[in-house]
DNA sequence: TGACTAATTAGATGAATGACAAATTAGCGG
DNA sequence: CCGCTAATTTGTCATTCATCTAATTAGTCA
C-alpha cells in the first residue's frame, strides 16, 4: 500500500516553511545557512525541515566544502503531486494506469533509435525525455526488491555501454534506483510518471 | 498569497484516515455512520475529519432524511493537487507557460462560439471544459492583485450576462477568484492549468 | 409533540510537531 | 593537530491534532 507514501508527501508540504523552502530552491540550490537566513529561522530548524523533505524525496543534497547544498528533486515533486489523485481514483475504476497509445509509440521509436539489435546503447541521449526513456528501458531489466552491489550494477550497465559511471549516476539522479550504503535497489514507482509530464 | 491554500490542501491529505475517506468516497457518496463503520472510528471522528476536508473544499455534502451524504469534489481534488507545483515553480522560471497551439485554437473556437461580437455571453456552456474556457476569458479582464467588492464583481459580470449570481458562484467554485469577507480577488494561478487535463 | 436517528459540539488525553538554544559532530584548510 | 564553519543532535516547551466519551443539536416521521 503506498498510502504511507502519499501521506508522507502531503505531510511534507503541510507546513508553510517547508513550502517556502521549496519555492526558494526552485530558484537554485542553496545551503542551510542561507535558507535559515531567508526564512528567519535557525539552522537547526532547517535541518529539521530538510529531514521531512528528504523523507519524501523532494530534495537532493550535495556537499561542497563545509556547506551542504539543497536542490529540488523535480521528478518526485511532479509525480508525488499526482500520486494522491491516482490513489484516490485507482481502485474504484480498478486498474493500473496505462500510458496513452501515442506516448507508447513515441517511446518505442526512441528505444529503436538508441538501442541496437543486439541490445547495445548507441549513445546516451542528450535530450532529457529521451534519456529517461532509455534509462527506463534499461532499468526494467533489473529485479524489483532485489539488492545489487555497485559491482553488479556496473557489470549490468556495461552490457549496454562502456560509460557505466555516467549511467550509474543518471540512474541515481533520476531516481530510477536508490543507493544506500553502497547497495543499489530499483525504485518501484511507476516509471512513466517520470517523463509523462515533460513536453 | 495562496500559500495558505496550498498548505491547507496538503494538511487535509496529511492524514491516512482522511485519504482513506477520499478513497471510499471515490466509490460513491456515503454518510457519516457508514464511513465511521468502515474506518473503525466513531462518528465524532468523522465529523472532525470532514471539517478538514471541507475546509480544503475536497468534499461536498447533501442531506437526505437524517443522514448527510459526503461525496468528492472531483474538480478541487484535481486542481489542488497541481496548485503546489505551480506555486513552487511560478516565480523561478519567471514566465507564463504557454498552452500548445492546438489547445489555443480550440479555445479560440469556443470563445467565438459563446461570446458575441459585442462581447456578450450568449449562454453559459454546460460542458465543463468549455465553461472553464469562457470563465477564464472573462476573468482575464480583471486586474491581478486588485480587491473587488461584490457589487463591482456583479457589475462586471452583468456586462456579459444577466445571471451574475450563477456566474459569480462559478468563479468562486472553480477558483478563478477567491472570496474573503465579501472581498473578491483574482486567483493568480495560471489559468490554463484548470482545464489543461480535461478530455 | 415525542421518540428516534444522525451529526455535531465539548471536553479530555496522549501523541506528534515546530521552534529554539546549547552541545556535538563533520569536514575543510592551514 | 588546531581552529573555523556548517550541519546535526539533544533536550525542552508550547502548540496542534487525532481520537474518544458524553452531552447536545438537528431533522424526520408517526
**CATH number of B181's domain:** 1.10.10
From the CA of B89, how many Å to the nearest CA of chain A? 6
Q: How confident is the model at residue A158 (pLDDT cuts 50, 70, 90)?
A: very high
Q: Quick one: pLDDT at residue A90?
A: 66
From the CA of B158, how many Å to the nearest CA of chain A? 37
From the CA of A16, how many Å to the nearest CA of chain B? 6
Same domain, A63 and A108: no
Same domain, A57 and A112: no
Q: Quick one: pLDDT at residue A101?
A: 63
Same domain, A127 and A63: no
Same domain, A112 and A183: yes
The domain total for chain B is 2
Is the pLDDT assigned to residue B81 strictly greater than 70?
yes
Is the pLDDT assigned to residue A115 strictly greater than 70?
yes
- Of A76, A111, A141, the last residue of a domain is A76
Residue B9 lies in a domain: yes
From the CA of A40, how many Å to the nearest CA of chain B? 17
Mark yes or no for CB contact B77/A87 under 8 Å. no
Number of Cβ atoms within 10 Å of the Cβ of A95 = 8
Q: How many interface pairs between A and B have CB atoms less than 8 angstroms apart?
A: 85
Same domain, A108 and A141: yes
Is the pLDDT assigned to residue A147 strictly greater than 90?
no
More confident residue, A106 or B102: A106
pTM of the model: 0.59
Q: Is the CB of B67 under 7 A from strand C?
A: yes
Element (H, E) at A1: none
Nucleotides in C strand less than 7 A from protein CB: 4-11, 17-23, 26-29
pLDDT, tens digit, for every residue of A38-56?
A: 999 999 999 999 999 999 9
- Domain membership of residue A186 as a residue range: 98-195
More confident residue, B4 or A48: A48
Average pLDDT, chain B: 81
Give the domain CATH number at B54: 1.10.10.10
Same domain, A118 and A177: yes
Q: How far apart are CA B104 and CA B126, in angstroms?
A: 20
Same domain, A41 and A106: no
Same domain, A158 and A123: yes
Which residues of A fall within a CB distance of 8 Å from B12?
10
Q: How confident is the model at residue B175 (pLDDT cuts 50, 70, 90)?
A: low
Residue A146 lies in a domain: yes
Q: How confident is the model at residue B47 (pLDDT cuts 50, 70, 90)?
A: very high
Same domain, B46 and B116: no
Q: Is the CB of B15 under 7 A from strand D?
A: yes
Average pLDDT, chain A: 81
More confident residue, B117 or A55: A55
What percent of chain A shows pLDDT beyond 70? 79
Q: Quick one: pLDDT at residue B132?
A: 83
Partnered with residue A72 across adjacent β-strands are A59
Mark yes or no for CB contact B84/A13 under 8 Å. yes
More confident residue, B92 or A148: A148
Is the pLDDT assigned to residue A1 strictly greater than 90?
no
Same domain, A113 and A177: yes
Element (H, E) at A113: helix A101-114
A69-83, A129-143, B49-63, B171-185 — which one is most confidently predicted on average? B49-63
Residue B80 lies in a domain: no
Average of pLDDT values for A128-153? 81
Same domain, B67 and B115: no
Q: Quick one: pLDDT at residue B19?
A: 96
Closest nucleotide to the alpha carbon of A63, via C1': C27
- d(CA A61, C1' C16) / Å: 26
Q: Which residue is nearest to nucleotide D22 (CA to C1')?
A: B44
Give all strands of the β-sheet with A147-149 in edge-to-edge order: A147-149, A183-186, A177-180
Q: How far apart are CA A164 and CA A166, in angstroms?
A: 6
Residue A82 lies in a domain: no
Residue B142 lies in a domain: yes
Q: Quick one: pLDDT at residue A142?
A: 80
What percent of chain B shows pLDDT beyond 70? 79
Residue A169 lies in a domain: yes
Average of pLDDT values for B149-160? 91
More confident residue, A8 or A101: A8
Q: Quick one: pLDDT at residue A91?
A: 36
Residues of B with CB under 8 A from a CB of A: 3-4, 6-7, 10-16, 19-20, 22-23, 26-27, 72, 77-78, 81-82, 84-85, 87-93
- Of A41, A76, A111, the last residue of a domain is A76
Q: Is A149 in a helix, a strand, or coil? A: strand
Q: Quick one: pLDDT at residue A55?
A: 92
Q: Which residue is nearest to nucleotide C10 (CA to C1')?
A: B44
Which residues of A fall within a CB distance of 8 Å from B91?
23, 26-27
Number of Cβ atoms within 10 Å of the Cβ of B45 = 15
Same domain, B107 and B67: no
Number of Cβ atoms within 10 Å of the Cβ of B52 = 18
- d(CA B69, C1' C12) / Å: 29
Q: How far apart are CA A29 and CA A69, in angstroms?
A: 6
Residue A87 lies in a domain: no
Residue A92 lies in a domain: no
Which residues of A fall within a CB distance of 8 Å from B72?
88
More confident residue, A166 or A156: A156
Amino acid at each position: 500500500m503506498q498510502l504511507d507514501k502519499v501521506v508522507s508527501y502531503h505531510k511534507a508540504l503541510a507546513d508553510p516553511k517547508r513550502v517556502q523552502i521549496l519555492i526558494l530552491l526552485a530558484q537554485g540550490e542553496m545551503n542551510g545557512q542561507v535558507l535559515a537566513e531567508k526564512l528567519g529561522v535557525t539552522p537547526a530548524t532547517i535541518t529539521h525541515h530538510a529531514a521531512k523533505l528528504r523523507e519524501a524525496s523532494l530534495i537532493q543534497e550535495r556537499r561542497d566544502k563545509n556547506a551542504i547544498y539543497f536542490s529540488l528533486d523535480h521528478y518526485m515533486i511532479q509525480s508525488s503531486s499526482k500520486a494522491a489523485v491516482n490513489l484516490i481514483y485507482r481502485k474504484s475504476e480498478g486498474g493500473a494506469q496505462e500510458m496513452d497509445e501515442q506516448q507508447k509509440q513515441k517511446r518505442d521509436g526512441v528505444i529503436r533509435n538508441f538501442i541496437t539489435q543486439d541490445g547495445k546503447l548507441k549513445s546516451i541521449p542528450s535530450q532529457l525525455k529521451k534519456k529517461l526513456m532509455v534509462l527506463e528501458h534499461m532499468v526494467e531489466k533489473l529485479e524489483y526488491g532485489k539488492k545489487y552491489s555497485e559491482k553488479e550494477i556496473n557489470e549490468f550497465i556495461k552490457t549496454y555501454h562502456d560509460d557505466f559511471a555516467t549511467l550509474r549516476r543518471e540512474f541515481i539522479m533520476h531516481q530510477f534506483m536508490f543507493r544506500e550504503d553502497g547497495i543499489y535497489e530499483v525504485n518501484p514507482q511507476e516509471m512513466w510518471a517520470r517523463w509523462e509530464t515533460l513536453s
